[in-house]
Amino acid sequence: MPAAGKAGASALDVEGRRAREGLTTGEVQERTAAGRINSVPTATSRTVRAIVQANVLTLFNAVVGGCFILLFVLGQWRDALFGLSAISNSLIGIVQEYRAKRSLDRLAITQAATNTVIRNGARERIPSAGLVPDDTVVLAGGDQVTADLLLLGGASLEVDESLLTGESEPVPKMGGAVLLSGSLILAGSGRATVLRVGPDTFAYRLAAEARRFSLVTSEIRRGLGKVFVVITWLLLPTALLLVNAQMQDRGGWTGAFGSGRWIPAVVGAVAGIMAMIPLGLLLMTSVAFAVGGLRLARQKVLIQELAAVEVLARVDVLCLDKTGTLSSGSMVFDAVHAQGAFRAARWQPVLEWFGAQSEGGSTAAAIGAAFPAAPPLAERSAIPFSSARKWSSVTVGPESGAAGTWILGAPDAVLGGSPGCAAAHGEAAALASTGLRTLALAYLPDILPPDAGETGLPTTLEPVLLITFRERIRADAAATLDYFRRQGVTVKIISGDDPRTVAALARGVGFGNGAAYDARLLPGDPAQLEDIVDAQSLFGSVTPSQKRDLVRALKRRGHTVAMTGDGVNDVLALKEADLGIAMDSASPATKAVARLVLLDGRFERLPAVVDEGRRAISNIERVSLVFLSKTVYATVISVVCGILLLAFPFLPRQLSALDGLTIGLPAFFLALQPGGERYAPGFLRRSLAFAVPAGFCTAVCVLAVSALATGFGGHTRENAQSAATVTLGLLAAWILVMASRPLNGTKVLILAGMYAGLVLLFSVPLTRHFFRVDWPPPGLLALAVGVGLAGCAAIEGVGRFTRHRRARAG
């Protein structure tokens, strides 16, 4: 024999031995030592250390921390209260991102499972992580495929690949076919060799992109980020101006250091710097989102990232995967379509028998639900279903009233070879074109030949029935889709199922009457893809990567996209969407990348999520008006004092007291208020339209009172600071009143408590001493109140003007 022939025969002998006896212990150890095992790395792109660094080592935290430490070193701990807010912000950010990281680390395409393998000629059960290449795996119904396998000859399986492809129909697999990790064996048995393990498997590669760390795209977070960028650029030059001004006011740099007056100068500069940073705004935003998450948790909705409640409120395109979202994924009996002269008494017992066969899968279960089993059929022989022949049969005796052989299976396989079945075959094709799953029941008076499975069915079959099935539609699907349509949200159904099936299900929920677009015809050109996805609402035969591409095309068109799904085939699209929503039946991988999980699988929960998102956005917008106004007036006061070499009119502790009474505590309660209007884009623009003029007005009033008190009135620095505090308290309180409208009973109580707190601040000896405030002399108090009331009137005018302009724009 030639050398090449001998080598080929030797290789075949080795493969044959492995199929019979599996790997030896030595071969397993060799592959394991080389790292070729079925385990996958779980680390995301961000470590815990990176998350902590990203939330702690920021410019703002450096400024806040530096000022905090400086005041403590100088013994001015009473003026360092702002440090608590910075610590809270960092902790919330760390916890939020760590939760997202944990979800990604738990991402798993296949459940923790065990496998039966052949090793050393004997069967043994091992964890799925212990599989190595060339292992021989024994497969049976109910097993999960945990590595990519090559099915050996002679095997015949029914495989559910819906988690990977989105196709809900079982897929027949014969010897030589590849089984992908994440598949589920529905029926049949056989052996397979391991092709690929760990990171090389199809399921892992599909989920690799999903493991990339990212936070949900939040307009509020993005808008606040822009504000912080502007403040960052202003912070350093303003700080330098302010420090110099405070030193000059205390006798110049030399005089201030020589006399020790540099300490109060530094305290004044810190007050101006810290007032510019809206530390509490991030905290209140997180609080509003967290409360929304708690409210939704009571409704069995899990929020995996706080800002997700905001995103759904501004979604304008909702993409739905058919299976698990609009449908339950199970089949239900639709109807029987008689084709012959058989009475119900003859064929009904046969259907009852087929429906009682547990190995028949979901189709048999649907038949059994429609035709509950009566007394046992007098069965003489039966041929079980095989994906190769696509039919099963039962032969019964005359005592049953249905003597003969009955064959149930796919119309092409049962009716295709019988001339007398041509009409029934045509009707079956017509029914299938409507998206219904169709089976054919045929009758043979004689016993079926033993070799019918290999040679084919006799051509003398008589068609009896066509049986149609449809997917079970969720009871809440139609009403929920109608809700989104009323809210102006465009709904698109994107499924891996046959386009005809997708169209049929869409009609069942009242979603259009047209055909679904076949994704196999989608163009590769991005511009053409955008046109198609904008024009079409139904898509079938969509691959996982195409789902992602469709979502990307919608986002390029400026849409905010939410995507629902339950299979691994949805992972890439869920990750790409602005908001991923997983159902309760979703795979672990899908739940890991989704921002929102419907724990009880009720699609009707989504309107409540929209309402909660609107409440959060509405309340955060109110809160932002107050915080951004403070940032504006603090920046203006700091810049003016720095340029004109004026003393900063407040101590840090005085600003902390005002912040707590007119911003912090009231904003906390406002962030929890119910209600919320339909979302309109432009959160930051609307907030700044009021905050900038209101902040300028406040700064002018405070600077005027401070200048009149020290420059012309001859009052002490302490009296001037108290007068400026009175003026700022009145103005900041009115800004809060403007942000709280429309008022209700709860808001009135909040505002009344705020005004009472301001009075107590100046009246209680303990607070007067701690915060260094007192009632100014009568004349100065009248000036502070008069200027404050005039400023309140101006702020009222600003508010009315911005509301009128917004109403005209709307």
Catalytic residues: 321
N- to C-terminal Cα distance for the chain? 88
Cβ burial 394-407 (10 Å sphere, 16+ → b, else e) = bbbeeebebebbbb
Both tokens of 232, joined, read: 């960052």
Q: Quick check: helix, strand or coil at residue 517?
A: strand
Give the Cβ contact number of residue 9 at 10 Å.
11
Q: What residue ranges in 347-390 does DSSP mark as E strands?
A: 379-386
Helical segments of 80-160, H only: 83-105
Rounded CA-CA distance 702/700 in Å is 6
Buried-exposed string 538-574: b where 16+ CB fall within 10 A, e elsewhere: bbbbbbbebbbbbbbbbbeeebbbbbbbbbbbbbbbb
CA 84 remoteness from chain centre: 31
DSSP 678: P
Nearest to 383 by CA among 452, 465, 460, 456: 452
Contacts of 53 (CB under 8 A, 6+ apart): none
Cα–Cα distances in Å, from 350 out to 338, 366, 462, 789?
A: 14, 14, 15, 89
Task: Give the span between the Cα atoms of 807 and 810, in whole angstroms.
Answer: 5
| Cis, bond preceding 278 (omega within 30 deg of 0) | no
User: Which of these, 38, 207, 183, lies nearest to 107 by C-alpha position?
Assistant: 207
80 close to 71: Cβ distance less than 8 angstroms: yes
DSSP-assigned letter for residue 710: I
Q: Residue 316 and residue 491: Cα distance in Å, rounded?
A: 9
Beta pairing, strands 517-518 & 538-540? parallel
Phi-psi region of 408 (alpha: psi -120 to 50; beta: other; left: phi over 0): beta
795 in Cβ contact with 734 (< 8 Å)? yes
Nearest to 728 by CA among 693, 703, 764, 709: 703
Q: Strand, helix or coil at 280?
A: helix
CA distance 326 to 170: 19
What's the chain's length in residues?
Answer: 810
The token pair at 597 is 């999980």
Q: Give the Cα separation of 672 and 616 in Å (integer).
A: 8
